[in-house]
Amino acid sequence: MRILVIGSGGREHALCWKLNESPRVEKIFCAPGNGGTSAIATNVEIDLDRHEDVVTFCVDNKIDLAVVGPEAPLAVGMADHFERAGIPVFGPGFAGARLESSKVFAKEFMGRYDIPTATFRIFDDIAKAKEHIIEFGKPVVVKAYGLAAGKGVVVARDEEEALKAAEDMLVKKVFGAAGSMIVVEECLEGEEVSILVVTDGEKVIPLASSQDHKRVGEGDTGPNTGGMGAYSPAPVIDEDMMETIMGSIINPTIEGLRNDKIAYKGVLYAGLMMTKDGPKVLEYNVRFGDPETQAILPRMRSDLAELLYAAAKGDLSGIEVEWDDEDCVCVVLASGGYPGKYVPGKAITGIKEAEKEGAIVFHAGTRSENGMVVTSGGRVLDVVAKGKGIKKAIDGVYRAVSRIGFEGMHYRKDIAYRAAGRAR
Ligand code: AMP
Ligand code: GLY
């Protein structure tokens, strides 16, 4: 099988790494890829905004399967171009991607299909939004309706902050068109969990559960980031809870898509809050999570290429996925200043030494320069280790992290603290 992976982050390195294990895979291309994918795939420069060029590349290179990593190309319908050209693609088309690209679509969808989520109202008028925030009288979350690179959500501490967020989005247009409508919703309390499933539009194969750490600081404090670490499995999700989530959230979502005549092949990712009234959807994503994928795939025993190909061909029947029972922890090493401004081009040392400690090092924002690996993004490396029990996995990952260095490097020292607390 010849595969094209679209994207350039740690998630895509992990996908390439796992695909590369498959005896069925002959060749992997990654567009544009990074300093880590280049070791196992051929990095290619294609203008990803020009979908015809991407399709031409696939035809010229006899690609059997295209795997789209990030949400942005899915949101603008890249998968539809592959479909029309007859190239099996893992990732939904424009219509299905609206579950992530439009929070208004997602909330109305959940409303129509009785899928548990925070109560909400939608506004494009600032006066009405403000009136509602004041009347509601309880903590709210204000969300820009469109894609805003994970920054378009304000969990307001008080009324003043909520009013300011609404004003910033609707009047000051800080997120541009993505904020021309806002969702004002009830603030939910509980523990967050990521549930990812692979679907062909009908059959659903759950992946192992996981939790990520979105805030930059220890104890989940400070500003939100793309994710500072993750681990799998999430101990709050036992078999019974998984059944509840499948029955009340995942299956109704897949059925709703079918009912809406939306063909959906790819990952459906439900970001959930485990509230005292049960699991509720915070958001949908239409792709693998980053960095959850880096903590999930090392636990997968089955053939990822076979799984993704079967989903893309629309037939998951006969596919089973097995997991090893070790825990897996991923720690993100970030550039100094991230999630704010940072200076790229810093030389990285110690990757080989970290690997000798038994860790896997996925590259997120790196590139090769004169035979050296240097930083090229905010999130630079994802260090991953497994262990029998969460404690061993945590010890292993931080032992490996201690081998790596670059100027300004910072990371969270408490990844998986919730799981470790439960294990105690
Ligand atoms: P979203 O992009 O919708 O997932 O929101 C990003 C983050 O904001 C989530 O991962 C949560 O930590 C937080 N969040 C979103 N919606 C809510 C809500 N209704 N209640 C509490 N926290 C929320
Ligand atoms: N880890 C959160 C996300 O992938 O959106």
Contact by Cβ (8 Å): 335, 239: no
Distance between CA atoms of 158 and 418, rounded to whole angstroms?
27
The Cα diameter of the chain in Å comes to: 61
Q: How many C-beta atoms surround the C-beta of residue 332 within 10 A? A: 31
CA 271 to centroid of ligand 2, rounded, Å: 8
Residue nearest to atom 6 of ligand 1 (CA): 153
Q: Which ligand sits nearest to residue 269's alpha carbon?
A: 2
Q: How far apart are CA 70 and CA 79, in angstroms?
A: 12
Q: Which of 300, 334, 380 is nearest to 9 (CA)?
A: 380
Q: State in Å: Cα 120 to ligand 1 middle.
A: 13
* Strand order across the 229-232 sheet: 211-212, 229-232, 327-334, 379-387, 360-363
pLDDT tens sequence across 127-180: 999 999 999 988 999 999 888 876 788 999 899 999 999 999 999 999 988 888
The residue contributing the CA closest to ligand 2 atom 3 is 289
Ligand at minimal distance from the CA of 280 is: 1
By the 8 A CB rule, do 275 and 244 touch? no
The answer to whether 40 and 20 have CB atoms below 8 angstroms apart is: yes
Ligand 2 center–CA 379 separation, angstroms: 13
Phi, psi of 304 (to 5 degrees): -65, -40
Among the bound ligands, the one closest to the CA of 10? 2
Shortest-distance atom of ligand 2 to CA 150: 5
Measured in degrees and rounded to the nearest 5, phi and psi for residue 352 equal -60, -40
- In this structure, is the dihedral angle defined by the CA atoms of residues 410, 416, 418 and 421, taken in order, positive or negative? negative
Q: Give the residue, by CA position, lying nearest to ligand 1 atom 5.
A: 153
Ligand 2 centroid vs 263 CA: distance in angstroms?
A: 23
Over the range 119-146, which residues count as b (16 or more CB within 10 Å of their CB) and which as e?
A: ebbbbeeeeebbeebeebeebbbbbbbb
Instruction: Please give the distance of CA 50 from its chain centroid, rounded to a whole number.
Output: 24
CB within 6 Å of ligand 2 — which residues? 212, 227, 285, 289-290, 292
Distant-in-sequence, close-in-space partners of 395: CB < 8 Å, separation ≥ 6: 387
State in Å: Cα 269 to ligand 2 middle: 9
In angstroms, rounded to a whole number, what is the distance separating the alpha carbons of residues 157 and 140?
Answer: 8
**Spatial strand order in the sheet of 266-275:** 204-206, 191-199, 266-275, 278-285
The predicted pLDDT at position 243 comes to 98
Q: How would you list the strands of the sheet with 65-68, edge to edge? A: 42-43, 27-32, 2-7, 65-68, 89-90
The DSSP secondary structure of 191-230, one letter per residue, reads EEEEEEEEESSS-EEEPPPBEE--EEETTTEEEE-S-SEE
**List of the chain residues with pLDDT < 70:** 150
Q: Which residue lies with its CA nearest to atom 16 of ligand 1?
A: 282
282 in contact with ligand 1, CB cutoff 6 A:
yes
Q: Is 44 in the pocket of ligand 1 (CB under 6 A)?
A: no
C-alpha span between 181 and 123 (Å, rounded): 6
- Gap from CA of 326 to ligand 2 centroid (Å): 22
> What pLDDT, on a 0 to 100 scale, did the predictor assign at position 150?
67
